[in-house]
C-alpha cells in the first residue's frame, strides 16, 4: 500500500517522513499553492531507494510536466486539473485526481491509462492540501486503484482504510504546523495509524 506524505518542501521533512514509514512523498508544482516548490529544489531533496516521488500539477503542459519530472526525479505525475488521457505526459506514471463533493461517478475514467485515481475532498480553487474529507464509503468497490486524500490524519485514517480499502492514503495539511512545514508528531502518528490499520 502507498503511504504518501504530500507538500514536502524541505529535506528535513522528507527524511522524517521516510524514516517514519512513508513509501511516497509529494512535491507541489502548482505556483499558486502555499506548498509550491521549485523543481530544482525538489530535485535536490533526497529520498530513500524505493520511495516514490510524486509531482502535483494543475493543467500544466505535458512537455513541462516531463521537464519537471526529469529535474525533480519524479516517478509519478499527480494531475489535478482538466487533463485528458491524450495529454498525459509520456514515460511517467499518472495519478488522476478526482474531487468528490457528492456521489462518485468514475465512469469517465473506466478506460483511463492512469495508474491510480486519487480521490480528494472538495476544495474550491485550492489544489493539494485543503484538508476536507469526503464520505470514504463512496470509494469502495470501484474496481480501480484508489488513493484517498483530503482531511486524513491519525484520528481518521484507520476508519478511511476500513471503509474504502484503498491502494494508498495521502496526508498533507492536517499533519502540518504551517503550509509546507510538517508537524513531526502528527506525521508520525498518521503513518503509524495507517500501518496499524493495514495490519489489523
Active-site annotation holds for 120: yes
Average pLDDT rounded to a whole number, residues 4-9: 97
C-alpha cell at 40: 530544482
Least trusted range by pLDDT, from 72-76, 103-107, 171-175:
103-107
Q: Indicate which residue of 6, 13, 153, 172 is catalytic.
A: 6
Q: Is the pLDDT of residue 130 over 80?
A: no
Would you give the end-to-end CA distance of the chain in angstroms?
Answer: 14
Please classify residue 53 by burial: count the beta carbons closer than 10 Å to its beta carbon, then call 0-12 exposed, 13-18 middle and 19+ buried.
buried
pLDDT value, residue 133? 80
The percentage of residues in the chain with a pLDDT greater than 90, rounded to a whole number, is 74
Please classify residue 164 by burial: count the beta carbons closer than 10 Å to its beta carbon, then call 0-12 exposed, 13-18 middle and 19+ buried.
buried
Tell me if 76 sits within 8 A of 52, measured CB to CB.
yes
Q: Which domain holds residue 140?
A: 2-199
Model confidence, pTM: 0.93
pLDDT value, residue 124? 46
Average pLDDT rounded to a whole number, residues 55-84: 96
Q: Indicate which residue of 13, 120, 153, 170 is catalytic.
A: 120
Rounded to whole angstroms, the Cα distance separating 144 from 112 reads 10
Looking at the structure of the chain, the number of domains it has is 1
Q: Which SS3 state, helix, strand or coil, does residue 118 take?
A: strand
pLDDT value, residue 152? 95
Q: Is the pLDDT of residue 126 over 70?
A: no
Domain at 157, CATH number = 3.20.20.70
Active-site annotation holds for 153: no
Q: What is the pLDDT of residues 152-194, one digit of tens each?
A: 999 999 999 999 999 999 999 999 999 999 999 999 999 999 9
Average pLDDT rounded to a whole number, residues 112-134: 74
Amino acid at each position: 500500500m502507498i503511504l504518501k506524505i504530500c507538500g514536502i518542501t524541505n529535506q528535513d521533512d522528507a527524511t522524517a517522513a521516510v524514516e517514519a514509514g512513508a513509501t511516497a512523498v509529494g512535491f507541489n508544482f502548482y505556483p499558486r499553492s502555499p506548498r509550491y516548490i521549485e523543481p530544482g529544489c525538489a530535485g535536490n531533496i533526497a529520498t530513500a531507494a524505493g520511495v516514490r516521488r510524486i509531482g502535483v500539477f494543475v493543467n500544466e503542459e505535458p512537455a513541462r510536466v516531463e521537464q519537471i519530472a526529469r529535474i525533480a526525479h519524479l516517478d509519478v505525475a499527480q494531475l489535478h486539473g482538466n487533463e485528458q488521457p491524450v495529454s498525459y505526459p509520456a514515460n511517467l506514471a499518472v495519478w488522476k485526481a478526482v474531487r468528490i463533493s457528492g456521489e462518485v461517478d468514475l465512469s469517465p475514467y473506466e478506460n483511463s491509462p492512469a495508474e491510480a485515481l486519487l480521490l480528494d475532498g472538495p476544495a474550491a480553487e485550492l489544489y493539494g492540501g485543503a484538508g476536507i474529507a469526503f464520505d470514504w464509503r463512496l470509494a469502495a468497490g470501484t474496481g480501480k486503484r484508489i488513493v484517498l486524500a483530503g482531511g486524513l490524519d491519525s484520528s481518521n485514517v484507520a476508519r478511511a482504510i476500513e471503509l474504502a480499502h484503498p491502494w494508498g492514503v495521502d496526508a498533507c495539511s492536517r499533519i502540518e504546523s504551517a503550509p509546507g512545514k510538517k508537524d513531526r508528531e502528527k506525521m508520525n502518528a498518521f503513518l503509524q495509524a495507517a500501518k496499524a490499520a493495514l495490519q489489523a
